[in-house]
Amino acid sequence: MEHLLDKSVGCLVGAAVGDALGGATETALPEQIRARYGDWVRGVAPPFHADWATARPLAPYHKGDGHITDDTLMTHALVRAYGRKRDHLDAYDVVELLVPDLLERVVYIPDLEREGVTFHRLAAAERWLVTRLHHGHADPREGGVGNIVNCGAAMYMAPVGIVNAGDPAGAYAEAVEIAGAHQHSYGREAAAVLAAAVAAAMSPGAGVADVLTAVLDLARDGTRAAIAAVVKEAEGYADWRDAIAPLRAAVAPYDTVGEEYRNPGLGARRPSRLHSIEELPVALGMLVVARGDFHEAVLGAVNYGRDADSTATMAGAIAGALGGAAAVPAEWSATVAEASRTDLVAPARELAEVAAEVFARDRERFARRAERFAGLS
Q: What is the pLDDT of residue 53?
A: 87
How many C-beta atoms lie closer than 10 Å to residue 90's C-beta? 17
User: Given pLDDT bands bounded at 50, 70 and 90, which one contains residue 55?
Assistant: confident
Domain count across the chain: 1
Task: State the average pLDDT over residues 316-345.
Answer: 98
Q: Kindly give the residue spans of alpha helices, DSSP state H, lying in 202-220.
A: 208-218
Q: What percent of the chain has pLDDT over 90?
A: 95
Phi then psi for 108, rounded to 5 degrees?
-85, 130
Q: Average pLDDT for residues 4-24, to the nearest whole number?
A: 98
Write the CATH number for 327: 1.10.4080.10
Query: Coil, strand, or helix at residue 114?
Result: strand
Which pTM was predicted?
0.98
Residue 265 has a pLDDT of 87
Taking the CB of residue 316, how many other CB atoms lie within 10 A of it?
Answer: 35
56 — pLDDT class (breaks 50, 70, 90): confident
Measured distance CA(149)–CA(244) in Å, rounded: 24
> Rounded mean pLDDT of 191-215?
98
- How do beta strands 106-109 and 114-117 pair? antiparallel
Mean pLDDT, the chain, as a whole number? 97
Question: Can you give the residue range of the structural domain that contains 88?
Answer: 2-374
Residue 135's pLDDT band (boundaries 50, 70, 90)? very high
